[in-house]
Structure 1
Amino acid sequence: MTLATETEPTVSARRIIGLFRPYRWLMLLLLSFVVAQSAAAMVGPFLLRGIIDHGLPERDAWMISWLALGMVASAVTAGVLGVTSSRLANVIGQRVMNDLRVAVYDHLHGMSLGFFTRARGGDLLSRVINDIGGVDTVLTTTATSTVQSATSATAIAAAMLIMDWRLALLALLVVPAFLLVTFRLGRQLRSLARGRQRRLARLTSLIQESLSVSGVLLVRTMGLRDEFRRRFAEESREISRLELAQTMAGRWRTASRRMALTIVPAVIYWLAGIEVANGASLASIGTVVAFTSMVNRLTGPAATVQGVGQTVQTSMALFARIFEVLDLPVQVMDRPDAMPLRVTRGEVALHGVTFGYEERAGAEPILRDVDLVCRPGSITAIVGATGSGKTTLAYLVARLYEPQTGTVTIDGVDVAGATRASVADAVGLVAQETYLLHATIRENLLLAKPSASQEELEAAARAAQVHDLIVALPDGYDTVVGDRGNRFSGGERQRLAIARVLLRNPPVLVLDEATSALDTRTERAVQEALDRLAEGRTTIVIAHRLATVERADQIVVLEHGQIVERGTHADLVALAGRYARFLRPDGTDSESAGSSGSRQMRLPVVGREGVHPVVHRTSPESIG
């Protein structure tokens, strides 16, 4: 399954509200603060009416003083409660933001490697940062603003009805029409928000790809600077256009509504004045003044509701993109009854394993009915042409994928039923493409064993033939490796990766062309270290060079996802089959291939499977 790019799913308000469920008690506390704030704010107009209708006509200084003091007290109380409720709302919102961000990040780590080969890195980055950041206002302040505005509006409406129901009906006629027009903006705002986030994702991808070391090399060596600048400018202009359209959406309607709410007090003064001029009195002067002050207070919550409505409608598109990630089916996850994998012997076995990548719908599986046994303490090499399934088989052992049929077991335990963390502890993988964090050498090595001492770091580095290089650097083990380790050569990065796995000391070791970037002399030294490491553990090797393969206890030849040959190097050379043809550049059989030393084989090689004392050769048709 992939992420949508042009269309976005809808999301229900109930699901968004569900994000706040873990903090429902804090929400109730917040509601109590908001209600108390609204009640305190509503005392002021009634006290003002008392001053105008009674204190001033009766010239009662004590009454005026006490009523004025009450107005001050109500304002201070409302202000303190407002700040308190605002802080509590932000605390709740930031916790929800953190939960959402962590949930998306963790969910993505549950996807298989195939998902990341299809997904664009910039789009994932945009969803974690831009989309979740875009709903910050909704999660931190909108909920509070909505509750505060609704509570204040309710309190104001009740107070207005108590003070004078006829004037209240006139003032409150504006609100339903006001809200109706606000909701009509929703579809337009959601469409603009979707377009803006898609463009942000594309811009983020462009930045990520073109400003990495590899991207800069591509741009400069291919003379693409002007082309990439044109692409960047085009995406940036489109984002600016969408942001302008989003900002201006409904501004005339907003201005009209605000004018209408401001005009209401003038109408009230006009009606009251007409009544007084005609000898009748619609209300007392104090009531009119106090009522007008409440109408002015109604303008604030009404305008807030309008802003909240627009913000929520805009954010619905972002929530849809976020929940789309959370709704992706996790392909590699811990089962409810998952147990830690405890390795005692290290026997790795595949039983009837079939696997195919979902993006290759209708194509033949990469692996078909594979049965292998890698006996404890043995070295298994896997050989085959590109696309034969070598690396896929290794990844299944490390549980980076799960087979569609069949099982992968370690010491008889299906790794699919073990916890991911325990499988990672049991299986050490060194891939051809080495990844180092933009951190120090020490920090990169300690990823394998955070509690490792300096002596342990140095021992692992010496075994990987990289210690002398490290200590020759000005900062030694505290040298920053740079983005993806690009301060070092490919061979140096591979040795650092090998040192990291050596430090971890796993019972099962998978080497996917782990020495391909090393020169012959360094490879020989590193291979000797790996041979020592392989003692007492199960090792699976995928390699190009014959020197790496010929020392294996068992060599497995894959062709079109099936095992067609297996045995020792000498036995397979004597068999004069596919393996033997791999040893000569012209692809012909050769009995002298065993003396080829450390030269490269003609086709890629991979290692993995159990030692079988009997050599056998199987045609592809007879398997499966």
Structure 2
Amino acid sequence: MSNGTTSTSKGSSSSSSSAQTPTATQREQQKGSLAALRRLAPFLAPYRRQFVLAGIALTVAAGATLAIPYAFKQMIDLGFGGQAGIHNVDHVNAVFLALFGVATVLALATAARFYTVSWLGERVTADIRAAVYRHVVRQSPAFFETTQTGEVLSRLTTDTTLIQAVVGTSISVALRNLLLFAGGLVMLFVTSPKLSSIIIGLLVLTVLPIVMFGRRVRKLSRDSQDRIADASAVAGEILNAMPTVQAFTHEHIETARFGATVENAFVTAMRRIRARALLTMLAIVLVFGTIVFVLWLGAHAVLEGAMSGGDLGQFILYASIVAGAIGALSEVMGEAQRAAGATERLLELLAVRSDIQAPSQPVALPPRAANGAALSLANVTFHYPSRLDSPALDHVDLDIRPGETVAVVGPSGAGKTTLFQLFLRFYDPQQGTIRLDGVDIRQLDLHTLRDAVGIVPQDTVIFSANAMENIRYGRADASDEEVIRAARLAAAHDFIERLPHGYQSFLGERGVRLSGGQRQRIAIARALLKNPPLLLLDEATSALDAESERLVQSALEAAMVGRTTVIIAHRLATVQRADRIIVMEDGRIVEMGTHQSLVALGGVYANLAALQFHSVHVTPVAAEALQ
């Protein structure tokens, strides 16, 4: 309807660099580095105590595991291989009793480790989700014009779930296996330095191809997450526009489009899975091939009497522990690589900085005047980012007195809704200043500014809540009586009372259970409940029938008392009683005055008034003003 919608959409393809995520080249340079996981440290730091407890439990469990091979060595050498081959029954019993004790300690420590690290995973993930969401809702509109909602949701769900798996499981498994690897390696050297030196040398040679191949897996993991985000973005866009999709019978087209993105995600995921499978196969063959070869040498050493059967048994068990630890670490590495990609994506989101920042030392507004706020624009020029050669506002000067009602009319693209976006500081002008009660709005805290402004948009937003809470969105601490009073002023009380559960009735997602006029009245009630000194009405009565418009118009006139009001409207009956009417065209103010003076002027407004009230021949300029 108004220019802001047009201009914004045209400006959506580009916004200032600070409101965008890193470029594809930058992301490619950052991809796949496990160092990204270190940047989770601020989220992990508050839970040092839990990490210490988990570390203690993990160390005890690893120690118990490393004690088992030694117990088997004692059983073989002393229990079965005693003097003259006589079996030592008492020693065997003692060894098995000790093994049961070790198993009990292992069970308790493992349970404690599992509980602690699972708690950490859930807690840290919840903190990350909250931090990302808190950051996203503070971004300027430019961010939401260039970032798909589905992509943000994918990062809040899929990516954080991967991080949860790493923090809640993989880190613990990695540390446990690192301890087992280190402890097992030490015990291998204690058991047989010669065989251990051979096995270590061979393992170093096997690790090199595994590391090289792992880099490809890392890149594919990030690509897979990107494709999943693409599918989520498409699904979110279509589900939010389902009535339009069905009205144009595009169900099969959108199904095919979503199917293509899902198939693309599947193909990318299969490339990652194949690479992971090959990496796992390579690791197992190389590692266990090395161990088998070394054990073959050990078997010959026993046959030659160079080592005892217990030593070989102990060496085999420690070698198995070391091999198992390496295998587990390779699995954890794959998960960590996926989580590193997810972490990069989340941290990219957290690194985005809005163009619109609150000042470090904000200025306070003067005490509220009894008749509303003063608003002034001085030489304001504004370009949307993708239309730098075409100003949406061009050297606009305007002074609105406290308590004054000013209507803004003009053709689409004239700059009307852009004014509202600048008043709320969704954007900053490239030139000029906007002052509220004499204070430059860039010197105000954003909450202070926006608390002083109430708006009724043309496209009303209804939340998935009941009628009471939807109106209370205007002021969270309002009582039920204040909500009902605002609903009465907005002519919404009667239809709300007729709902199945009155004010407790759920209004459906995006208010699908209400008519357009009913949604509009909910929005008006919300703005009236806020009771701001400056009220912005963007076609506030556009969706109402004649009877409802009469009721709401009467309510709005009462609500305008004691506050400054700026109205955007094409239906001139809405603005005839305004103190002043501003006529805009091509980002400039071309006419200004009362309804009577502008009609007498014979310009754009007069032609529009003639068309709406007298149905006479009008000029092309007036016809354009109707669009």
Per the normalisation by structure 1, the TM-score is: 0.87
Separation in 2 of the partners of 1:106 and 1:206? 24
* Counterpart position of 1:299: 323
Secondary structure of the equivalent of 1:498?
helix
Structure 2 vs 1, CA of residues 338 and 78 (structure 1 numbering), >3 Å: closer, same or farther?
Answer: farther
Measured in 2, the distance between the counterparts of 1:343 and 1:365 equals 35
Distance 1:471 1:586 in 2: 35
Q: Deviations over 1:484-524 (max 9, x none)?
A: 11221211111111011112211211111111111233222
Q: Which of these residues, 241, 256, 263, is aligned with residue 230 of structure 1?
A: 256
- Among 489, 495, 508, the alignment partner of 1:482 is 508
Q: What residue in structure 2 maps to residue 144 of structure 1?
A: 172
- 1:334-483 to structure 2, matched below 5 A, reads 334-338=358-362, 341=365, 343-345=367-369, 346-360=373-387, 362-483=388-509
Residues 439 and 480, structure 1, Cα contact 8 Å, conserved in 2: yes
C-alpha deviation, 1:526, in angstroms: 0.7
**1:308 match:** 332
1:165 to 193, 209, 221: 193
Aligned to 1:81: 109
Equivalence for 1:555: 581
Provide Cα deviations, 1:274-324, integer angstroms capped at 9, x if missing partner: 2343xx323221111111111111122111111122222333333333232
Indicate which of 586, 597, 603 corresponds to 1:571: 597
**How far, CA to CA, are the matches of 1:31 and 1:467 in structure 2?**
60
8 Å Cα contact 1:388-1:558 kept in structure 2 = yes
- Are the aligned partners of 1:582 and 1:603 in contact in 2 as well (CA < 8 Å)? no
Matched, 1:285 2:306: no
- The 1:205–1:507 alpha-carbon spacing in structure 2 relative to 1, beyond 3 Å, is same
**How far apart in 1 are the matches of 2:157 and 2:399?**
45
Contact 2:483 2:529 (C-alpha < 8 Å) held by counterparts: yes
Output the CA distance in 1 between the equivalents of 2:143 and 2:186.
56
The equivalent of 2:561 in structure 1 is 535
Structure 1 residues 586 and 337: CA distance shift in structure 2, 3 A: closer
Cross-structure match for 2:62: 38
Separation of aligned partners in 1, 2:300 and 2:533: 94
Aligned to 2:5: none
Q: Is the 8 A contact 1:379 1:539 kept in 2?
A: yes
Q: Distance in 1 between matches of 2:202 and 2:454?
A: 69
* Structure 2 CA distance for partners of 1:587 and 1:503, relative to 1, 3 Å: closer
Deviations 1:379-428 (A, max 9, x none): 11112221111111112112222223333222222332323222232111
Matched position secondary structure for 1:481 = coil
**TM-score, scaled to structure 2:** 0.87
What CA deviation, in whole Å up to 9, does each residue of 1:110-143 have, x standing for no partner? 2222332333332232232233334332333222
1:213-292 mapped onto 2 (5 Å cutoff): 214-215=241-242, 217-263=243-289, 266-277=292-303, 280-292=304-316
Contact 2:534 2:563 in 1 (8 A): yes
Structure 1 residues 348-385: Cα deviation after superposition (integer angstroms, max 9, x where no partner): 2223322221132x322212332322211111111222
Equivalents in 1 of 2:120, 2:595: separation in Å? 65
Tell me which amino acid in the other structure corresponds to 1:48. F
Distance 1:342 1:177 in 2: 74
Q: What residue is the counterpart of 2:40 in the other structure?
A: 19
Query: For 2:202 and 2:447, how far apart are their aligned partners in 1?
Result: 60
Say whether the 8 Å CA contact 1:436–1:484 is kept in structure 2. Answer: yes
Amino acid at match of 1:371: D
- Say if 1:421 and 1:175 are closer, same or farther in 2 by CA, change over 3 A: farther
Would you say the 8 A contact 1:123–1:201 is kept in 2? Answer: yes
SS at 1:535's partner residue?
coil
**1:92/1:439 Cα in 2 relative to 1: closer, same or farther (>3 Å)?**
same
- 1:596 corresponds in structure 2 to none
Who is 1:126 aligned against?
154
1:504 to 526, 530, 545: 530
- C-alpha contact 2:276 2:334 (8 A) present in aligned 1: no
Q: Which moved more, 1:288-297 or 1:218-227?
A: 218-227
Q: Quick one: which of 21, 25, 50 aligns to 2:74? A: 50
- Distance (whole Å) between structure 1 residues aligned to residue 324 and residue 364 of structure 2: 58
Q: Find the aligned partners of 1:352 and 1:86 in 2 and give their Cα distance.
A: 64
Q: CA deviation at 1:342?
A: 5.9
Rounded to whole Å, the distance in 2 between the matches of 1:42 and 1:21 is 34
Partners of 2:457 and 2:539 within 8 A in 1: yes
CA RMSD of aligned residues (A): 2.9
| C-alpha distance after superposition, 1:82-116 (max 9, x if no partner) | 33223322333333322322232222222222332
Residues 1:413 and 1:186: Cα distance change in structure 2 (over 3 Å): farther
Pick from 233, 251, 266 the counterpart of residue 205 of structure 1: 233
Q: Distance in 2 between matches of 1:36 and 1:284?
A: 29
Q: Percent identity?
A: 32
- Evaluate the alpha carbon distance shift between residue 588 and residue 547 of structure 1 in structure 2; reply closer, same or farther with a 3 A threshold: closer
What amino acid does structure 1 have at the position aligned with 2:107?
G
Against the structure 1 CA distance between its residues 332 and 91, is the aligned structure 2 distance closer, same or farther, given a 3 Å change threshold?
farther
Q: What CA distance in whole angstroms lies between the structure 1 residues aligned with 2:335 and 2:40?
A: 17
- How far does the alpha carbon of each residue in 1:173-192 deviate from its partner, in whole angstroms, 9 at most, with x for none? 34334433332234432443
CA distance in structure 2 between the aligned counterparts of 1:93 and 1:339, rounded to whole angstroms: 42
- Number of residue-to-residue matches in the alignment: 592
- Matched to 2:39, the amino acid is G
Q: Hey, what does 1:324 align to over in structure 2?
A: 348
Identify unmatched segments of 5+ residues in structure 1: 593-600, 607-624
Residues 134, 318 of structure 1: 8 Å contact kept: yes
Judge conservation of contact 2:64–2:105 (CA < 8 Å) in 1.
yes
1:260 offset after TM fit, Å?
Answer: 4.1
SS state at 2:611 partner: coil
Mapping of residues 162-201 of structure 1, within 5 Å: 162-201=190-229
The one of 132, 138, 146 equivalent to 1:110 is 138
Structure 2 distance, partners of 1:461, 1:243, is 52
Amino acid corresponding to residue 219 of structure 1 in structure 2:
V
Which residue identity does 2:374 align to in structure 1? E
Residue by residue, what CA displacement relative to the aligned partner does 1:593-616 show, whole Å, maximum 9, x if unpaired? xxxxxxxx866699xxxxxxxxxx
* Partner deviation per Cα, 1:8-42 (whole Å, 9 max, x = no partner): 44155444213124534243443343333322322
- Between the aligned partners of 1:133 and 1:272, the Cα distance in structure 2 is 45
Is the contact between residue 341 and residue 415 of structure 1 (CA under 8 Å) also seen in structure 2?
Answer: no
CA deviations over 1:168-222 (Å, ceiling 9, x no partner): 223333433443333223443244334433332332233223334x42x333332
Structure 1, residues 436-464: CA drift from partner, whole Å, max 9, x if none?
Answer: 01221122112223333332222211111
SS in 2 for 1:281: coil
Conserved in 2, the CA contact under 8 Å of 1:381 and 1:556? Answer: yes
Q: Which has the higher contact order (CA 8 A, sep 6+)?
A: 2
Distance 2:339 2:214 in 1: 10
Measure, in 2, the Cα distance between the counterparts of 1:589 and 1:573: 15
* Cα distance in 1 between the residues matched to 2:469 and 2:346: 32
